[in-house]
Structure 1
């Protein structure tokens, strides 16, 4: 797949975060926030090094549902830290859950939110897995499509908040395991803290330069404790403080 230029993908990501904020799904934009100042990500590994460093992960619907978690994951994707995959079924699951929780949410707004996710990370889509579903056995039959997509995409890990329904004995024959998102992002970030620093800087800039303390609290509420620990050591100044009113600048 030919990917859009990184600048275009970043622009779409900024639109995604802005829509999440408008819908009340993300950290509110600070008063008087200026336009984000976002530079290119640090140079990624190439060739075999890239294959070894970036994490291939099948993302469950409960991860995409939470806007702060989803948007940090997408920022990490743009940085080259992870390679997430999901299917149309997974996309429909989290948007349907949003529809149930927010019955007054206009359908076109939710459709736009999903479209922005797809447009920012078009390579995430997994197709052709449906024929595998009937042969799989899981604690919850309704989750079989998640494992089927992981197998089809060659993802060794499923990022989910629902590990109880993805038992090791059911996943191990396919070389797959389930993990909390912090267990996925934390070790990957420890290998390339500069990529995490850029991704967090992009996310925070998209939010309008929210105070670092507020941003870190949001990550902790998402139970991203390993990520916070790496981020704390990766930033060039304590918690990436900037001059008053200045949005954070990602690492050059």
Structure 2
């Protein structure tokens, strides 16, 4: 029997078999609407598919609160899979977490301009065997005139436990209003391990010897190659709303991550 709900729900599922099988169960458990007509989206899949869905919302301008159901591997942005009827009955108890994406203004060596959103991080990575050389500016002031490295990234609190953590960056509480600036295998200055910045900061990276030492930019899942400069800032007016079960919210997971060995 289908559950009635005071909210108009949309169902979005990954192409993987587990998610498609679950989608059949969910489809029979409620009356569903298109994303245009809904006021909340239930997303079936893993973290990667969740990021893909959130980016599609940002690109289309149709942004809805999202409740993720984990049918992937890690599921950091998702909730535990349960029977559809149980999930739908308790959706109204889900806790909302606001996540502000980053906006990256990218200029390639040829002068082509790109604009990309990032929910987790924006990372610069060397394209060849040669190390990258990058100028690091914060709010128009040069902080590192020449960072010699494999790359560097700027992470949101939501993304601080992803690539940023793998690069030995700090874990940031969701309500900290900060960003993590983290080098990737830095060679010079050798002792620099990164910085924590206010989320109102604008960070600019300029590639030195871009022809000889090409660098790519990756904004979550989108890559732009052969870049000359990247300017990154937070976009609070485009904040996304992720919904979590009580006791399993993203901020609690971020705290718990710091006590795992």
Q: TM-score, normalised by structure 1?
A: 0.27
| Bigger share in helix | 1
Structure number with greater Rg is: 2
| Bigger share in strand | 2
Q: Which has the higher contact order (CA 8 A, sep 6+)?
A: 1
